[in-house]
Structure 1
Amino acid sequence: MIDLDDTDRALLRALQQDATLTAAELGRQSGVSQSVAWRRVKRLTEAGVIKGRRLDLDREALGFGVTVFLGIKLVAKGHGSLENFERAVSAIPEVQTVQHVLGRYDYRLQVVARDLSDFERVLRRRIMTLPGAGEVEANVVLSEERRPGPIG
C-alpha cells in the first residue's frame, strides 16, 4: 500500500471526474506545476494505484436500456467447473462484469440488454446454457447513481 498525501488525493479525485485531463490541467486543479502533476500520476500508476483509464459509454445512448444483476449458483463447484464457467461467461458480450463472490450465489454478473425481451433471450439462450449454471436470481436496475471511489 502506498501513502497518499493531499496532492495525490486531489489528483486522483480530478482524474476520477475526467480521466482525459492533461498534466497541465491536473496541476492547475490540484495547485501544483504540470511537471509535479505528471510525476505524481506516473508514480501512482507505477505503484498500481491507477490501473488504467477507461472510456465510460452511455449504454442507453447505444441502445442498451436494461441492466440486470444476476446471482448464479453453480451445480458443481470444483476447480474445473469454475474455470469452465468463467471462460464461457466471459465470451458473452452482454455480460459486462463477472464477479466470483461469497454468499448465497457463486457468481454475480452485470448484464446489459436492449430491453426486457432481449434480456430474456440472453438469459435463456446464453446464460442458462452455461456449463454448471444452476440457480439464477435476477435483479433489474431501475436507476443508478454513480459515486466516486474512496480516496479520502
Structure 2
Amino acid sequence: MEPLDPKDRAILRVVQTNATLSAGAVGRAVGLSQPAAWRRLRRLRDTGVLRGRELSLDLEKLGFGVTVFLGIKLATRGRVSLDDFERAVSAIPEVRRVDHVLGRYDYRLRVTARDLPDFERVLRRRIMALPGVGEVEANVLLSEERLPGPI
C-alpha cells in the first residue's frame, strides 16, 4: 500500500466523526470533488485502512446496566486450543468483545448483563464452564469517560 498523503489523513479525520457521510460530503469537507473523494475512500476501504461502519447502541437503554471486564487465564495451556476457546467464548451473546492479550491474563473479555445477578449467572453457567478456564478476575465498569474518537 502506498503511504497516506495529507488528503487521505484529512478524509480519515472526517469519516471518524461520521462514517455515514457521502463521498460528496467528504469531498466538500476536505476540498476534493465527489469523484476524487469516492476514489480515495474506495482505495482506503480496498486496502483495509477503513473497515466497516460501526453502530453504537446505548446498552443501558436496552436494559443492560452492567458491564464487566474479565481477565481470563487459561488453566491448561496446550490441552485446550486457543481457537476452540475463542470460538466458544464468542458464542456467548453477553460477551461483547474478546481480546487475546499478553500479560497476566490470556484474554480480556467485555461482558454486558442486565444486572449483577444476571452477570453472575453468565459467569457461573457460561464463562466458567468453558474449556480451559482457570483464573478469572472481574472489574465492574463504573463509568466510561472516553469514547473512541479521532486519532
TM-score of the superposition, structure 1-length normalised? 0.91
CA 79–47 in structure 1, closer or farther in 2 if over 3 Å, else same:
farther
Aligned to 1:26: 26
Instruction: State whether residues 73 and 107 of structure 1, in contact with CA within 8 Å, keep that contact through their aligned partners in structure 2.
Output: yes
SS at 2:81 equivalent? helix
Instruction: State whether residues 81 and 131 of structure 1, in contact with CA within 8 Å, keep that contact through their aligned partners in structure 2.
Output: no
CA 149–109 in structure 1, closer or farther in 2 if over 3 Å, else same:
farther
**CA RMSD for the aligned pairs?**
1.5
Q: Which amino acid aligns with 1:23?
A: A
Give aligned-pair identity as a percent.
66
CA 49–17 in structure 1, closer or farther in 2 if over 3 Å, else same:
same
Instruction: State whether residues 80 and 131 of structure 2, in contact with CA within 8 Å, keep that contact through their aligned partners in structure 1.
Output: no
Instruction: State whether residues 80 and 132 of structure 2, in contact with CA within 8 Å, keep that contact through their aligned partners in structure 1.
Output: no
Instruction: State whether residues 69 and 138 of structure 1, in contact with CA within 8 Å, keep that contact through their aligned partners in structure 2.
Output: yes
* Bigger shift: residues 72-81 or 112-121: 72-81
Instruction: State whether residues 98 and 110 of structure 1, in contact with CA within 8 Å, keep that contact through their aligned partners in structure 2.
Output: yes
Aligned to 1:53: 53
Structure 1 residue runs of 4 or more that deviate by more than 4 Å after TM superposition: none
Per-residue displacement from partner, 1:23-75 (whole Å, max 9, x unpaired)? Answer: 11111111211111111100111111012222221211211111111000111
SS at 1:93 equivalent? coil
SS at 1:72 equivalent? strand
TM-score of the superposition, structure 2-length normalised? 0.92
Q: Which amino acid aligns with 2:61?
A: A
Aligned to 1:99: 99
Instruction: State whether residues 2 and 47 of structure 1, in contact with CA within 8 Å, keep that contact through their aligned partners in structure 2.
Output: no
Instruction: For structure 1, list consecutive stretches of 5 or more residues without a partner in the other structure.
Output: none
Once the 2 structures are TM-superposed, how far is the Cα of residue 106 of structure 1 from its aligned partner? 0.7
Aligned to 1:141: 141
* 1:44-123 matches, cutoff 5 A: 44-78=44-78, 80-123=80-123
In the aligned structure 2, how far is the partner of 1:2 from the partner of 1:108?
A: 34
Count of residues in correspondence between the two structures: 150
Aligned to 2:128: 128
CA 119–2 in structure 1, closer or farther in 2 if over 3 Å, else same:
farther
